[in-house]
Structure 1
Amino acid sequence: MVAKETTVKVSEENKEGQFNLDGILSELGSFGKYQLLLLLLLAFRDSFLAMCNFNYVFTAAEVDFRCQVPECEAVDPRFNASWTSYALTNETGTCRRMVPYEPAYNGSVLSHEFTYTCAPDNFSWNKSVSCDKLVYEDYNSIVAEFDLGCQPWKRTLIGTVHNLGLVFSFVISGLISDKYGRKVIIVGTPLVVGVAGLIKSFSVNYWMLLVFEFLETALGYGNASMVLSLETVSQKQRVMFSCIADILASIGSASFGLIAWKVPYWRHLMRAIYAPLLVVVFYIFLIDEGVRWLLAHNKNHEAVRVLNKVAKINNIQLSKKAQQMLTKIAGDSKSREAGESAPPERLHLLSVLRSKKILLRVLLIAGCFFCCTFVYNGTIINSTSVSGNKYLNFSALLLVQVPTRIITALTLTRFGRKAPICVAYTLCCIFFISSAFIPKSIWWASVLFYLFGKMCSSYGVFSMYVVAMEVFPTTSRNSLTNIANTVGRVGSVLAPQTPLLEKYMTGLPSVVFGLVALGPAVLALLLPDTSQSALPDDVVDAENLDNPHEEHTPESESHDNVPRLSVCVTSGKETQ
């Protein structure tokens, strides 16, 4: 049935010999053997990258500590020894201890034998002194091993440096992905992260660890997987395909909580999650370059090879019309290689930004990302105060994304893009503000509202990524998305400061999240709705998303200062 319907589609939409990639992708199907293998491969990669991205949640976790009291350690060296009630201050996690009285001598002054005992009467009740050394409840964390208990800024600096590296990472990976292909980032970044993480696990001091924490994030990560997911299938299935890919990655990354539970020591935990990323080197032979990127960069012969490979693996016979189109563009590619015609000049990123519409979209999406990441990361950070097992809590937070993605797949295509995002963040505002004012006597209702707000936030941030990748041209899609995302990272940097708001009013962080959520709810209305549009291949296609029914004519193109990039099979015709 699919082949019959898409054959008609290819024939009708491919007027005057125009190449119709979306029709061919529809014929190839969206969930055949080839696509399912791609989903599993990307899920494995993204799951372990997510674990590594969140590694400091457990490896640099705060650990309870106390001062070492030499006068009493010999009596009972346990962390929660009975003498701690009078030898230490009443404050937990403090770097001070009670001052001991001068010891008395037994008998002759020359004997120097102490009669000192670890007793309440031997410690001052109103004087304290700084600790000379700390004793930790356990030594599984970086905090304990590098003795950071009395230097909490060093512990939080790990997360700050981690997020700072991500700012560089998304810019660099976007530029590389658009220039050299999605496959370079998909294969290269996990290898960099894996190697840097393994070296980091052998850190001999705090500063060595901090350097490799930055190098890991600055040279790794990126969102090429999501770009490839959107570009692999037809327009009608791209949201569903991306949602399934994210569901699989969420399930995989949720296992990090269980791994950290069973492997608590930070060095062993790092090796357990970083080493599997080295397997991604074999993706060189398992994953193909994105067809849209190949066509946009005039690698038509390679694009045809990939499309024929998909058809063979999925056991699909392409229609005659589709085969003719593939033969035609492959022939055009050979002609270019033979020097019969030069490929059109590719546009520099700055040239793309000369378009006022594209520049405005970058600014709008950057504003949306700022609000989205602030709310999304802030809710996760503040949820750590929830009572219970911290490992299970972490896994549960990531598993919440599974039902959220199912809802996303069912609504984002049916109701467009703008309306669902607006509704999601409006509900996000209502849920968070409501959770802040619910009486403590019904705490479970507050937690439930907070959870619903988190789901709406997860829905919104994923939808914004989809929109961002749909409104930019193929030749600069990842670069422009990551530029906007870089600005949004400022929101994630500010999010860790939100727990301080609790000092002014209980529930104030939730109120702030609710108010900030109104930002993307309003800004999303200014973006074009791309649910019924094919992915734009060049600047003019991207600009005309606001006018989907506008015909491309030579006259209209002549007034455009930005040259077009074409993948036509006949000269002088524009295609998608």
Structure 2
Amino acid sequence: MSGELNHLLENVLLDTGGLGRFQFIIIAVINLAKFPFTWSVLMMTFGGATPDWWCGDFGNSSMLEEDKDAGNKSAISLSFKQCSVNDSSECSAVHFDPEMNTIISEWRLICRESWVPGIVTSIQMAGLFISGYLSGQLSDMFGRKPIIFISILLQAVANFIASFSTSWQMFASLRFAIGIASGLFLASYLTFIIEFTPMKSRPMIQAIPSWSLAAAFYGLLAWLLPDWRYIQIVTGAVSVPFLACWFIIPESFRWIVSHKKMDEAKKVIDRIAKINKVSCPSLQEVEGAVEKSNIIDRKYTLVDICRHGYLLKRAVIVSFAWMAMAYTYYGISFGVDKLSGSLYINIFVLSCLEIPGDFLAWYIMKKIGRRWSYMLFSLLSAVGCIAVGLAKNFDFNKSWAVINGFAFVAKLACGIAWSCLLIITTECYPTVLRTTGYGLASSMSRIGPILAPLALSTSATYKGFLYFTCGVVTCISGLSIFCINETNDRALEDLIGANQMEVPRKVTERGIQITNTKDY
């Protein structure tokens, strides 16, 4: 009977207008709210970048500019990116390029302090690691809506305060809080949208390049305001207007039904129907299915995933895939200042390349399914990463072009594969555990970007280390995805075990028609 409930809820969505005006409002608001979270997560790609700097004593600042253009030591013992001059043990003076102000130049995080930016990034990712699981657990317990808006509020406040940091320790603490806020949002926003979206339109949701557009705008923002403090303020300010959307957006009706709150569900369905300008459908069949399914209005936890073998297997495979994607994606992103060319252009170009990739993911998933799509692009990303690693170990003409080119390919393919993985993750868990499972995967994925800065540092000694390891984990994840079932063209599972003994059905013009109402 739980399988029947899944299909009845799918039909309710179609009867209230399918992909209508209400759905477009939800999609637009949530994806726009995602922009400042993207900027927060990627902040260290600029904030942790190292500006040009010189070590030495001099009295004429104009000579610094001449030396900057020449790229050589000047006559006044000026040294470019050298921790000591004239055999001295340490710089007596450091002069940073005034064209950009990052935390490196703010607190002189070079030479003996060069380890700090990587630690700050890892601290931020630790915040995402913790909140990723908490978000899923809390939103399954208390609803999707409260967690999303709490994350927006926390993110805005933490960014404002961070802009007034007086030390890197204070900044790192606030990056942890920003990581918490970002994890809360990123682990719940897609589930929230998907639960309002008809089955055939779900892949389209992930095709919306909100992350890629936000990342590209971040490159422009860093170019226009090349000061980490201003970027923090703008990020916080952009978040504030979305708090007013609390009065516009309702709670997920699937979550409400799964907790047997039928009166609230009727109000949400009536509101959706009015906005989509259709008559409100009857929920009598749904109410009957809820009663027969023996739903218990209780709090579901990670323990429930561990108790069911099929869910535990999905959790392990999907969580490892998330970790692999995050390790590769953020490894390339955080190392963007190590690529040749302008930092701002590299951020912008790498992000823009992902935009057509999101649409390609949508098209490919419709044609060949979720699993084949994920495997295809994860293996392509692995090939690109290994090619970069090999190129870094050989010195040849235009090696920079080869390295940048394959890095772009690796990141593009990784972004497309991750888009496929997001859909797989939302579709492979029942509603009562959907954000718990999604949050678990999101949380485990943060192990990747926690390790990525350390691997990037290791690459200074062992050339290409980061890219070789990216290639290996991405390849393994691409092959292992076939250990779970395909989710293409399947109704969302609402209760545990609902799709393990599938209720026979057929697709009609109205949607999914139940042809057998036997209580499984």
Change beyond 3 A, Cα 1:343–1:429: closer
1:357 maps to: 310
| Structure having the higher Rg | 1
Question: 1:24: which partner in 2?
Answer: 12
2:161 maps to which residue?
Answer: 199
Whether 1:140 aligns to 2:101 is yes
Give the stretch that moved more between structures: 298-307 or 185-194.
298-307
C-alpha contact 2:19 2:201 (8 A) present in aligned 1 = no
Q: Which runs of 5+ in 1 are unaligned?
A: 1-12, 99-126, 552-571
Change (3 A) 1:331 1:487: closer
Match of 1:315 in 2: 277
Q: Which structure carries more relative contact order (alpha carbon 8 Å, separation 6+)?
A: 2
- What letter corresponds to residue 106 of structure 2 in structure 1? E
Q: Do residues 392 (structure 1) and 384 (structure 2) align?
A: no
Cα shift readout 1:512-563 (whole Å, capped 9, x = no counterpart): 3333221112110101111122111111125x1xx64689xxxxxxxxxxxx
Corresponding residue number in structure 1 for 2:207: 243
Q: Deviations over 1:389-414 (max 9, x none)?
A: 21122122122221111111112133
> Taking structure 1 as reference, are residues 285 and 88 closer, same or farther at Cα in structure 2, changes over 3 Å only?
same
CA-to-aligned-CA distance 1:459-509 (integer Å, 9 cap, x gap): 112212221221111112111222233223222222223445655675554
Count of aligned pairs = 495
Residue 329 of structure 1 and its aligned partner are, at CA, apart by 5.1
Change (3 A) 1:574 1:376: farther
Partner SS for 1:537: coil
* Inter-CA distance 35–16: structure 2 relative to 1 (3 Å threshold): closer
- Aligned residue for 1:210, secondary structure, equals helix
**Native 8 Å contact 2:40 2:178 kept in 1:** no
Moved more, 451-460 or 180-189: 451-460
Q: Deviation per CA, 1:360-399, whole angstroms, max 9, x where unpaired?
A: 2211222222222222222323443333321122122122
Residue number in structure 2 paired with 1:419: 372
Taking structure 1 as reference, are residues 158 and 464 closer, same or farther at Cα in structure 2, changes over 3 Å only?
same
**Partner SS for 1:66:** strand
Query: Runs of at least 4 residues of structure 1 off by over 6 A?
Result: 13-19, 330-333
Change (3 A) 1:501 1:200: closer
Do the aligned partners of residues 79 and 16 (structure 1) sit closer, same or farther apart at CA in structure 2, a change above 3 Å counting?
closer
Partner of 1:555: none
Aligned position for 2:240: 278
For 1:408, the equivalent position in structure 2 comes to 361
Following the alignment from structure 2 to structure 1, what is the Cα–Cα distance between the partners of residues 4 and 434? 28
Contact 2:124 2:179 in 1 (8 A): yes
Amino acid at match of 2:49: A
Residue 85 (structure 1) aligned to one of 74, 77, 80: 74
Report the equivalent of 1:477: 434
Over 3 Å counting, the alpha-carbon distance change for 1:549 and 1:329 in structure 2 is closer
CA distance in 2, matches of 1:316, 1:22: 16
Cα separation, 1, equivalents of 2:319 and 2:188: 18
Question: Aligned residue for 2:469?
Answer: 512
Shift in CA distance, 505/96, structure 1 to aligned 2, threshold 3 Å: closer
Change (3 A) 1:67 1:540: same
- Structure 1 segment 337-352 matched on structure 2, within 5 A: 344-346=296-298, 348-349=300-301, 350-352=303-305
Change (3 A) 1:67 1:449: closer
Q: 1:296 aligns with which of 241, 253, 258?
A: 258
Which residue among 171, 186, 191 is the counterpart of 1:209?
171
Task: Quote the RMSD (CA, aligned, Å).
Answer: 3.2
In structure 2, the CA distance between the partners of 1:60 and 1:377, relative to structure 1 (3 Å rule), is closer
State percent identity of aligned pairs.
22
Which residue of structure 2 lines up, in the alignment, with residue 107 of structure 1?
Answer: none
Separation (CA, whole Å) in 1 of partners of 2:222 and 2:92? 31
The match for 1:123 is: none
CA distance, structure 2, for counterparts of residue 436 and residue 210 of structure 1:
31
Letter in 1 for 2:77: L
Matched residue, 1:554: none
Counterparts in 2 of 1:396 and 1:415: CA distance versus 1, 3 Å: same
Letter in 2 for 1:389: S
What CA distance in whole angstroms lies between the structure 2 residues aligned with 1:81 and 1:93? 16
* Aligned residue in 2 for 1:452: 409
For 1:183 and 1:42, the matched residues in 2 are separated by: 11
- CA 1:60–1:234 in 2, change beyond 3 Å: closer, same or farther? same
CA contact (8 A) 2:47 2:228 kept: yes
* 1:536 lines up with 2:493 in the alignment: yes
Distance of 1:517 and 1:32 partners within structure 2: 37
Stretches of structure 2 lacking an aligned partner (at least 5 in a row)? 506-516
Query: Partners in 2 of 1:399 and 1:271 — Cα distance?
Result: 24
Report the CA distance between 1:219 and its aligned residue: 4.1
Deviations along 1:145-184, whole A, 9 cap, x unmatched?
Answer: 2232341122222111111111111122111111111111
Amino acid at match of 1:472: Y
In the aligned structure 2, how far is the partner of 1:399 from the partner of 1:56? 19
* Farther-moved stretch of structure 1 (533-542 vs 172-181): 533-542
Say whether 1:36 aligns with 2:24: yes
Matched, 1:254 2:216: yes
CA separation of 1:170 and 1:574: change in aligned 2, threshold 3 A: farther
Deviations 1:295-327 (A, max 9, x none): 111122222222222222122246xxxx33x25
Q: Point out the more displaced range, 444-453 or 500-509.
A: 500-509
Alignment of 1:123-134 (within 5 A): 127-134=87-94
Equivalent residue in structure 1 for 2:50, among 62, 82, 85: 62
Is the aligned partner of 1:233 residue 2:197?
Answer: yes
Normalised by the length of structure 2, the TM-score is: 0.86
* SS of the residue 2:199 aligns to: coil
Distance 1:398 1:43, change over 3 A: same
Partners of 2:5 and 2:494 within 8 A in 1:
no
